[in-house]
Structure 1
Amino acid sequence: MARWELLASERHAGLTMRRADAAGRHFVQVVPGEFAKLATCCPIVLTKHPETGRFYAGALLGFTSGENLAGNLDGVMPLDLEREGFFIVDTDIAVDLDQPRFAADLEAGVERVALFDLDGTPSTHLRRVQRALGLLHAGVAESEALMQALLDARLIEPIDVSLSFDDGERLRLEGLYTVGRDALAELDDATALRLFRAGQLHHAHTLIDSLQQIARLAHRRNERLALA
């Protein structure tokens, strides 16, 4: 069971953490407000929650577990990674002290940052966490509405990602979905207008366009293989 506590400046005045990073992550859940910025560096795909079967969106950072080909994501850090180790309980913020981000034995050279300044006010780093939690809280409802709208319009379709690399390895990614380009183009005017007014048509196009980044990630993987 997680060892969590409600965050308080008095109790956690000396608590430090690792900065948010995407090291060792090949997939991270994202919300619609993040689509546009993340689509500049990685594919945004849809998949199904293993327990509920509901669709949600995620940024594909690599092709195998623990493989990050998208880089350090400076300036476009996903909200779910920014708030890692923190969550909302009612109207308060809680901290999971068992999360590796707070480990006392972080690797040598890993910078630690404080949650609170000397006067007890939230540090710049904690304010980023607070902002990420707020955006995620709002973004979950927006994401659910988007997924339902895409389903209602019959726009979601599976994608087949089959890749071959310079070392002879072949990978096939399964369980991924996107918005069908042809289905989107064939929408009736009323549905297209409804999606447009809800801001969902833009997200649908962004999902499609982001798939171009799959080739970019594959190229980076081959570059790594060449240097190995």
Structure 2
Amino acid sequence: MADMELLDSARHADLRVSTAPDRTRHFVQLVADEFPAASLTYPILFTRHPDTGGLYPGALMGLLPDENLCLGPDRELAGYRAADLERQGFYVSGENIAIDPDHPALRQPEGERVFDGDGAPTPMLQRVQAALRRLHKGLPETERFVATLLHHKLVEPIDLSFRFDNGESLQLDALYTISLDALHALPDDVALALFRSGDLQLIYAQTNSVRHIPSLARRRNDRLSGLAA
């Protein structure tokens, strides 16, 4: 990664941000308060961080690395765009925003401008600022939510095996979901506490979102059929 640069309206007057990197993102980290919006379009599942081993949630957008099956005809995401995508290439540095000038989102010829002609933030930069705030606030809350799920033994592996019309088989490992059986077996006082904390709403958003998995499989099957034709 290149050295970070503090975002500056003069130095970065011509900076643009492209959504092109979205096209190769198959799993995007979410914070808990994104579940209701993200669950309308994507399966929300949990996986383990490769460095820490900690469990974290994300939106599944493809079945293989570098594959995004949730793009519209314009090659843009057809549904909710997660905060982690909005802030690609942008980071919090104390009270300021820093950028990685070598990030793919900032090195494309197309894209939305960061500053207008007067050096004021554009709507794109305002979205980045909102995404950074959402992540800053939401990551600790999401860690608490995941810890609650683990404490009550509500997380279980999910079996994702697919077979496509061209004969290809695919199995996804190391993904997890919330067990409704375990949830419904909880004592009433625990279920009430989950309801009052708002965690129950997040749980049902996640468990309802897995209905999108067959849609992802159909899109991959259609893509493979198109390539074969």
Name the counterpart of 2:28.
28
Aligned counterparts, 1:105-124, within 5 A: 106=108, 111-124=110-123
Name the counterpart of 1:45.
45
Counterpart AA for 1:152: H
Name the counterpart of 1:93.
97
2:64 counterpart of 1:64: yes
Counterpart AA for 1:189: D
Give, in whole Å, the separation in 2 of the partners of 1:20 and 1:4: 21
Shift of 1:21: 5.8
2:146 counterpart of 1:147: yes
Deviations along 1:84-121, one digit per CA (max 9) or x if unpaired, are: 00010112110110101121xx3xxx632211111111
Q: Using structure 1 for the length normalisation, give the TM-score.
A: 0.93
Q: Secondary structure at the match of 1:211?
A: helix
Q: Secondary structure at the match of 1:212?
A: helix
Shift of 1:17: 2.3
Match of residue 80, structure 1, among 69, 78, 84: 84
Deviations along 1:42-73, one digit per CA (max 9) or x if unpaired, are: 11000111221111001110111111112232
Give, in whole Å, the separation in 1 of the partners of 2:79 and 2:179: 29
Shift of 1:164: 0.7
Name the counterpart of 1:173.
172
Counterpart AA for 2:44: I
Give, in whole Å, the separation in 2 of the partners of 1:74 and 1:171: 25
Q: 1:120 to 1:5 in 2, by over 3 A?
A: same
Give, in whole Å, the separation in 2 of the partners of 1:19 and 1:124: 15
Identity over the aligned pairs, expressed in percent? Answer: 46
2:13–2:119 contact (8 Å) kept in structure 1: yes
Name the counterpart of 1:102.
106
Unpaired segments of 5 or more residues in structure 1?
Answer: none
2:218 counterpart of 1:219: yes
Unpaired segments of 5 or more residues in structure 2?
Answer: none
2:70–2:78 contact (8 Å) kept in structure 1: no
Q: 1:214 to 1:75 in 2, by over 3 A?
A: closer
RMSD, aligned CA: 1.4
Structure having the higher helix fraction is 2
Name the counterpart of 1:199.
198
Give, in whole Å, the separation in 2 of the partners of 1:15 and 1:59: 28
- Runs of 4+ with >6 A deviation: none
1:20–1:82 contact (8 Å) kept in structure 2: no
Q: Secondary structure at the match of 1:33?
A: helix
Aligned residues: 223
Q: Secondary structure at the match of 1:23?
A: helix
Counterpart AA for 2:41: C
1:69–1:217 contact (8 Å) kept in structure 2: yes
